[in-house]
């Protein structure tokens, strides 16, 4: 039986090519996702733990209670005492903080989230083991700095050049003394690192004579655990020690989180691609079994049992699945390299591709099992054909009937799924999205089952248009399409799945983007917003006041966020603003009271906050702080605000009130309305007034929109690219169906040619068939995707005020056009083959 199956696979290799290619693509996506995830995770872990092997023990201050930022460090006396612990070879005091480097044009260097500054801590030999200098030396005087090699190259700097560096205490110019390389513990990918002298780093980031941590290197013969026990016995109160191995394990766990998330997303799209491939496989085996009815019946007639014939056909599917899966794994390794190039962010660490045994075995099993499962129904259907009947006639088409069990099952699934989706969307609740997800699976499954039944009315709607455009070719194409509704439906279903996901994402993405745009910029009336250009930096206290002095006539207000208040027993966050300027900078839609009350020392509260806490206009609230400060405030205004807005505060207070209770509020941003309005000159004046600080971004209205709305369009494009694999497989299904159909209709095509239909006419007929199938799948998928996008959007309306459905007609139309174009491209080879049918041979065929 195995030899027979092998001969059959070789005999029908051309017809099975598309099936094998679908398995190759699906398995390539799956194995590529696994290889990509493993490679990214291992590279991230290696980068995050690089350098910890040289640290035996690290000593650092304990975090203060209450979640406050840690400011205290380890004093020099403690550092000296730790250096004298038996078994300590080197005790290096480390200081770190935020530091950003400007290029020669004043722009910020580095696209990552890490812009770090540190201290150069040379030992007795004048070197620091944490850094390897490739040019120059470490900073030896306070006016010098050293840069990591990549940052220096991006800025075009050479030894002796002046470099502008910004820290939390402003920007200053330094002389470049050297360029170095270091490990990932100090310089994450995409970031920048500046080394100062020890005294300069302490003044910028901590306080003179203090360190953020002490790194201890063990002397020969001393293990890290032994050194840890000795150090813990001498640690002062408020400090703790941990081994470098433990720190490495913590960093490894943190580093692999992002790669795990990306891997899960890719595996989800791989499952979609494999699911779509199952339709192509099942369709191909159905057509092959139909073409081989006489052959299979002859095997039965000469003594083969049903079990033997079934085993032969299943063995063929195993051979195809295993062989295509093996090729897919090889292709998947290349796919992983492409995924890492296109999907990995610029901050992602680099490393070798990791092909694990789990990936190889799992991908091989997935592709093989998928092929066997997809071929099972066609094989089982073939076993039901009596040998005598099969020898006498070819297998007839089996159109879907309205009263068939298949139709009833499909209708039940579709109605149940639709009802579940509607219930989840309209009733809401915490489990609404789970209900919608389950309903979507049922509705999509039902739609797939019902597509053969829908093909006839759909083609009937298109037939008048086809007859008007191409009377002969359009009519023939319409009739050929509905000749076997199940085959047409299975082919269109693969396309429908991809379009359902794509159109649903488009609806959700467009609706979310519109909402975020409005929530972000609707209340913004200032000319510019000043914020930190890099993560990890806070605006220095007094920046807004200095800016107001340097820009006379302009309206300037900080957004000073102050946390850990209890107002009337409710945990609250106050945002301090300049009462005299805020009215020109943010659009307050006051529904009760007046914003002028801010000048009287009262507060203004957003309507959602007032409703949540049960506050009302004119109410006096007791105020308490954890440090014991207390007082009272009065609500002088209530205004409408979106809870998701990044700019409009939930509680607006005069900055003088915030300063009374909080010595160091966080200045989240500064709003500026220049005298004379925004413009290039006005923006330059703001940048200059800020000290040409590369770490401060000056954003206009479009910049604010881009900053806070998020790159939804870019994220959707990534998902569309991933769904492109499913579209490619669906197009292969169309090509395969048409190619097999041409083989079945050789006599018919020859007759049409003999009756006067030229080659161009045959080509048009086959292409129109492909367009009809593509239109059926694209229409069904788009309608279902819009429905699911609306339903999921409804669940957001409960928690996101102002969210509304937006139908991106352009993107939806583009998706349909891409599907039709793919169907047309898929028809090129079958149409060319149909046009070249030999008329005498075809008309004489039995």
Residue 396 pLDDT class (50, 70, 90 cuts): very low
Q: Tell me if 528 is assigned to some domain.
A: no
Phi, psi of 233 (to 5 degrees): -70, -20
Contact 279, 733 (CB under 8 A): yes
Question: Whole-angstrom Cα distance, residue 21 to residue 281?
Answer: 10
Question: Whole-angstrom Cα distance, residue 840 to residue 747?
Answer: 9
Predicted confidence at residue 826, as pLDDT, reads 85
Question: Whole-angstrom Cα distance, residue 586 to residue 640?
Answer: 12
Question: Whole-angstrom Cα distance, residue 157 to residue 232?
Answer: 44
Least confident of 262-266, 528-532, 593-597: 262-266
CA distances, 226 to each of 89, 223, 229, 704 (Å): 13, 5, 5, 54
Record the tokens describing residue 165, joined without a space. Answer: 């560096």
Cβ count near 122 (within 10 Å): 17
690 and 715 share a domain?
Answer: no
Question: Whole-angstrom Cα distance, residue 561 to residue 575?
Answer: 4
48 and 69 share a domain?
Answer: no
69 and 92 share a domain?
Answer: yes
Predicted confidence at residue 72, as pLDDT, reads 65
Q: Tell me if 699 is assigned to some domain.
A: no
Q: Is the pLDDT of residue 507 over 50?
A: yes
Q: Which of 349, 365, 396 is the last residue of a domain?
A: 396
Measured over the CA atoms of residue 182, residue 185, residue 190 and residue 194, the dihedral's sign is negative
Average pLDDT over residues 3-28: 69
* Residue range 659-704, pLDDT digits in tens: 999 988 888 899 999 988 888 889 889 988 988 888 888 888 888 8
Average pLDDT over residues 401-406: 59
Query: What HEC string does 509-566 produce?
Result: HHHHHHHHHHHHHCCECCCEEEEECCCCCCECCCHHHHHHHHCCCCEEEEEEEEEEEE
* Residue range 325-358, pLDDT digits in tens: 999 899 888 878 876 776 555 455 667 788 889 8
Phi, psi of 173 (to 5 degrees): -105, 135
Residue 66 pLDDT class (50, 70, 90 cuts): very low
Q: Is the pLDDT of residue 384 over 60?
A: yes
Q: Is the pLDDT of residue 400 over 50?
A: no
- Taken as a whole, the chain contains a residue count of 846
Contact 606, 645 (CB under 8 A): no
Share of the chain above pLDDT 70, in %: 85
Record the tokens describing residue 128, joined without a space. Answer: 């620091």
Q: Which of 396, 425, 457 is the last residue of a domain?
A: 396
Least confident of 75-84, 243-252, 559-568: 243-252
Residue that wins the pLDDT comparison between 391 and 523: 523
Q: Tell me if 250 is assigned to some domain.
A: yes
Residue 650 pLDDT class (50, 70, 90 cuts): very high
In 3-state terms, what secondary structure has residue 322? helix
Phi, psi of 239 (to 5 degrees): -125, 160
Q: Is the pLDDT of residue 627 over 60?
A: yes
Q: Is 77 exposed, middle or buried (0-12, 13-18, 19+ CB in 10 A)?
A: exposed
Q: Taking every pair of C-alpha atoms in the chain, what is the biggest distance, in angstroms?
A: 104
Record the tokens describing residue 397, joined without a space. Answer: 């088409």
Q: Tell me if 315 is assigned to some domain.
A: yes
Closest CA to 673 of 517, 519, 529: 529
Predicted confidence at residue 734, as pLDDT, reads 81
Residues with Cβ within 8 Å of 95's Cβ and at least 6 positions away in sequence, in order, are: 73, 118, 119, 198, 201, 202, 205, 206, 210, 211, 212
Question: Whole-angstrom Cα distance, residue 566 to residue 598?
Answer: 19
CA distances, 256 to each of 37, 249, 250 (Å): 9, 11, 10
Q: Is the pLDDT of residue 251 over 80?
A: no
Residue 69 pLDDT class (50, 70, 90 cuts): very low
Cβ count near 248 (within 10 Å): 19
Question: Whole-angstrom Cα distance, residue 559 to residue 597?
Answer: 18
* Residue range 90-141, pLDDT digits in tens: 888 899 888 889 888 888 887 656 788 999 998 888 888 889 999 999 999 9
Residue that wins the pLDDT comparison between 824 and 5: 824
389 and 405 share a domain?
Answer: no
Predicted confidence at residue 11, as pLDDT, reads 60
49 and 98 share a domain?
Answer: no
224 and 271 share a domain?
Answer: no
Least confident of 48-62, 152-166, 645-659: 48-62
Q: Is the pLDDT of residue 509 over 50?
A: yes
Residue 235 pLDDT class (50, 70, 90 cuts): confident
Predicted confidence at residue 112, as pLDDT, reads 55
User: DSSP readout, 430-466?
Assistant: TTHHHHHHHHHHHHHHHHHHHHHHHHHHHHHHHHHHH
Contact 657, 600 (CB under 8 A): no
* Residue range 350-379, pLDDT digits in tens: 677 888 898 899 999 988 998 888 888 777
Predicted confidence at residue 21, as pLDDT, reads 78
List beta partners, residue 640: 589
405 and 376 share a domain?
Answer: no
410 and 425 share a domain?
Answer: yes
Cβ count near 107 (within 10 Å): 11
Predicted confidence at residue 605, as pLDDT, reads 96
Record the tokens describing residue 828, joined without a space. Answer: 């090129």
In 3-state terms, what secondary structure has residue 844? helix
Burial pattern 206-234, b for ≥16 Cβ within 10 A else e, equals beeebbbbbbbbbeeebebeebbebbeee
Share of the chain above pLDDT 90, in %: 22
* Residue range 23-47, pLDDT digits in tens: 887 888 788 888 887 887 777 777 6
CA distances, 29 to each of 270, 331, 655, 730, 733 (Å): 6, 9, 55, 15, 17
Q: Tell me if 701 is assigned to some domain.
A: no
Question: Whole-angstrom Cα distance, residue 744 to residue 833?
Answer: 12
Q: Is the pLDDT of residue 87 over 80?
A: yes
Q: Which of 369, 396, 423 is the last residue of a domain?
A: 396
Question: Whole-angstrom Cα distance, residue 61 to residue 728?
Answer: 57
Residue 68 pLDDT class (50, 70, 90 cuts): very low
Predicted confidence at residue 730, as pLDDT, reads 78
232 and 251 share a domain?
Answer: no
Q: Is the pLDDT of residue 719 over 80?
A: no
Cβ count near 325 (within 10 Å): 28
Predicted confidence at residue 530, as pLDDT, reads 92
Residue 291 pLDDT class (50, 70, 90 cuts): low
Q: Is 65 exposed, middle or buried (0-12, 13-18, 19+ CB in 10 A)?
A: exposed
Q: Is the pLDDT of residue 753 over 90?
A: no
Domain count, the chain: 4
Q: Is the pLDDT of residue 468 over 50?
A: yes
Question: Whole-angstrom Cα distance, residue 775 to residue 411?
Answer: 22
Domain at 683, CATH number:
2.40.70
Region label for 76, one of left (φ > 0), alpha (ψ between -120 and 50) or beta (otherwise): alpha
Cβ count near 456 (within 10 Å): 17
Q: Is the pLDDT of residue 570 over 70?
A: yes
Record the tokens describing residue 548, joined without a space. Answer: 């107001």
Q: What angle do CA 747, 748, 754 make, to 5 degrees?
A: 90
Domain housing 759 = 397-522+710-846
- Cα 529 to chain center, whole Å? 28
Question: Whole-angstrom Cα distance, residue 729 to residue 672?
Answer: 53
Residue 399 pLDDT class (50, 70, 90 cuts): very low
Question: Whole-angstrom Cα distance, residue 554 to residue 585?
Answer: 11
Q: Tell me if 703 is assigned to some domain.
A: no
Q: Tell me if 531 is assigned to some domain.
A: no
Residue that wins the pLDDT comparison between 51 and 20: 20
Residues with Cβ within 8 Å of 146's Cβ and at least 6 positions away in sequence, in order, are: 120, 131, 133, 136, 137, 138, 139, 176, 177, 178, 179, 180, 194, 195
First-residue to last-residue Cα distance in the chain: 29
Q: Tell me if 529 is assigned to some domain.
A: no
Average pLDDT over residues 751-755: 80
715 and 643 share a domain?
Answer: no
List beta partners, residue 531: 697
Record the tokens describing residue 488, joined without a space. Answer: 């047409």
15 and 78 share a domain?
Answer: no
Q: Is the pLDDT of residue 394 over 50?
A: no
Average pLDDT over residues 815-839: 85
Residues with Cβ within 8 Å of 372's Cβ and at least 6 positions away in sequence, in order, are: 314, 317, 318, 321
Predicted confidence at residue 198, as pLDDT, reads 92
Residues with Cβ within 8 Å of 127's Cβ and at least 6 positions away in sequence, in order, are: none
Predicted confidence at residue 505, as pLDDT, reads 85
Q: Is the pLDDT of residue 416 over 90?
A: yes
Contact 161, 19 (CB under 8 A): no
Residue that wins the pLDDT comparison between 646 and 1: 646
250 and 338 share a domain?
Answer: yes
Q: Is the pLDDT of residue 514 over 90?
A: no
Average pLDDT value for the chain:
82
Q: Full-prediction pTM beyond 0.85? A: no
In 3-state terms, what secondary structure has residue 219? coil
Q: Is 341 exposed, middle or buried (0-12, 13-18, 19+ CB in 10 A)?
A: exposed
Which helix (H) or strand (E) is 709 found in, with range?
A: helix 701-709
């Amino acid at each position: 039986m195995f030899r027979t199956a092998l001969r059959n696979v070789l005999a029908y290799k051309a017809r099975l090519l598309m099936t094998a290619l679908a398995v190759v693509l699906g398995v390539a996506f799956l194995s590529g996702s696994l290889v990509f995830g493993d490679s990214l995770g291992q590279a991230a872990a290696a980068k995050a733990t690089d350098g910890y092997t040289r640290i035996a023990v690290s000593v650092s201050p304990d975090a203060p209670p209450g979640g406050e930022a840690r400011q205290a460090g380890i004093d020099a006396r403690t550092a000296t005492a730790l250096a004298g612990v038996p078994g300590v070879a080197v005790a290096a005091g480390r200081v770190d903080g935020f530091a950003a480097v400007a290029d020669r044009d004043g722009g910020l260097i580095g696209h990552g989230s890490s812009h770090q500054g540190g201290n150069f801590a040379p030992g007795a030999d004048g070197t620091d083991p944490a850094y390897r200098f490739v040019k120059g030396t470490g900073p030896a005087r306070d006016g010098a700095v050293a840069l990591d090699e990549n940052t220096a190259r991006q800025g075009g700097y050479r030894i002796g050049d002046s470099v502008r560096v910004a820290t939390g205490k402003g920007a200053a110019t330094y002389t470049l003394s050297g360029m170095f390389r270091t490990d990932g513990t100090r310089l994450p990918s995409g970031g920048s690192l500046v080394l100062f002298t020890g005294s300069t780093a302490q003044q910028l980031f901590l306080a003179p004579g203090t360190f953020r941590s002490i790194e201890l290197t063990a002397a020969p013969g001393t293990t890290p655990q032994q050194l840890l026990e000795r150090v813990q016995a001498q640690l002062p109160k408020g400090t703790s020690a941990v081994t470098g191995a433990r720190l490495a394990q913590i960093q490894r766990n943190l580093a692999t989180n992002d790669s795990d998330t990306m891997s899960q997303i890719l595996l989800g799209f791989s499952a979609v691609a494999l699911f779509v491939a199952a339709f192509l496989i099942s369709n191909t085996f159905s057509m092959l079994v139909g073409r081989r009815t006489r052959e299979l019946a002859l095997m039965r007639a000469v003594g083969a049992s049903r079990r033997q014939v079934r085993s032969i056909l299943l063995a063929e599917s195993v051979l195809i699945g295993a062989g295509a899966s093996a090729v897919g794994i090889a292709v998947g390794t290349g796919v992983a390299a492409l995924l890492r190039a296109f999907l990995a962010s610029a901050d992602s660490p680099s490393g070798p591709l990791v092909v694990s045994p789990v990936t190889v075995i799992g991908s091989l099993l997935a592709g093989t099992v998928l092929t066997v499962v997809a071929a099972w129904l066609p094989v089982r259907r073939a076993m039901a054909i009596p040998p005598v009947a099969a020898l006498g006639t070819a297998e007839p088409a089996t159109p879907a009937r309205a009263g068939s069990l298949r139709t009833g099952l499909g209708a039940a699934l579709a109605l149940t799924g639709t009802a579940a989706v509607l219930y989840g969307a309209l009733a809401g609740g915490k489990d609404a999205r789970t209900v919608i997800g389950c309903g979507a699976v049922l509705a999509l499954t039902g739609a797939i089952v019902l597509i053969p039944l829908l093909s006839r009315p759909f083609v009937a709607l298109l037939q008048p248009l086809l007859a008007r455009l191409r009377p002969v070719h359009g009519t023939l194409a319409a009739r050929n399409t509905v000749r076997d509704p199940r085959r047409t439906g299975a082919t269109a279903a693969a396309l429908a799945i991809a379009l359902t996901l794509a159109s649903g994402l488009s609806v959700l993405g467009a609706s979310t983007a519109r909402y975020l745009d409005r929530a972000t910029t609707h209340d913004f009336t200032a000319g510019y917003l000043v914020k930190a250009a890099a993560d990890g930096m806070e605006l220095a206290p007094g920046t807004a006041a200095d800016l107001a002095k340097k820009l006379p006539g302009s309206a300037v207000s900080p957004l000073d966020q102050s946390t850990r208040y209890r107002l009337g027993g409710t945990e609250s966050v106050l945002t301090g603003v300049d009462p005299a300027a805020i009215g020109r900078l943010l659009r307050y839609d006051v529904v009760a009271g007046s914003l002028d009350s801010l000048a009287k020392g009262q507060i203004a509260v957003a309507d959602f906050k007032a409703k949540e806490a049960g506050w009302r206009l004119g109410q006096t609230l007791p105020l308490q702080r954890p440090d014991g400060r207390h007082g009272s405030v009065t609500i002088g205004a209530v205004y409408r605000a979106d809870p998701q807005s990044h700019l409009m505060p939930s509680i607006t207070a005069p900055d003088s009130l915030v300063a009374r209770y909080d010595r160091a509020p966080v200045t989240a941003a500064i709003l500026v309305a220049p005298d004379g309005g925004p413009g290039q000159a006005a923006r330059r004046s703001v940048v200059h007034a800020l000290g040409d600080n590369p770490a401060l971004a000056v954003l206009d209205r479009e910049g604010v929109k881009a900053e806070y709305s998020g790159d939804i369009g870019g994220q959707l494009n990534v998902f569309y690219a991933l769904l492109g694999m499913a579209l490619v497989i669906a197009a292969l299904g169309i090509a395969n169906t048409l190619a097999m159909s041409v083989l079945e209709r050789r006599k018919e095509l020859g007759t049409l040619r003999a009756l006067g239909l030229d080659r161009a006419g045959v080509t048009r007929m086959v292409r129109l068939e492909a367009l009809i199938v593509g239109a059926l799948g694209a229409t069904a998928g788009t309608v279902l995707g819009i429905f699911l996008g609306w339903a999921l959007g409804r669940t957001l309306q409960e928690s996101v005020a102002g969210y509304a459905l937006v139908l991106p007609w352009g993107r939806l139309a583009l998706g349909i056009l891409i599907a039709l174009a793919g169907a047309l491209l898929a028809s090129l080879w079958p149409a060319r083959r149909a046009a070249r049918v030999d008329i005498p041979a075809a008309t004489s065929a039995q």
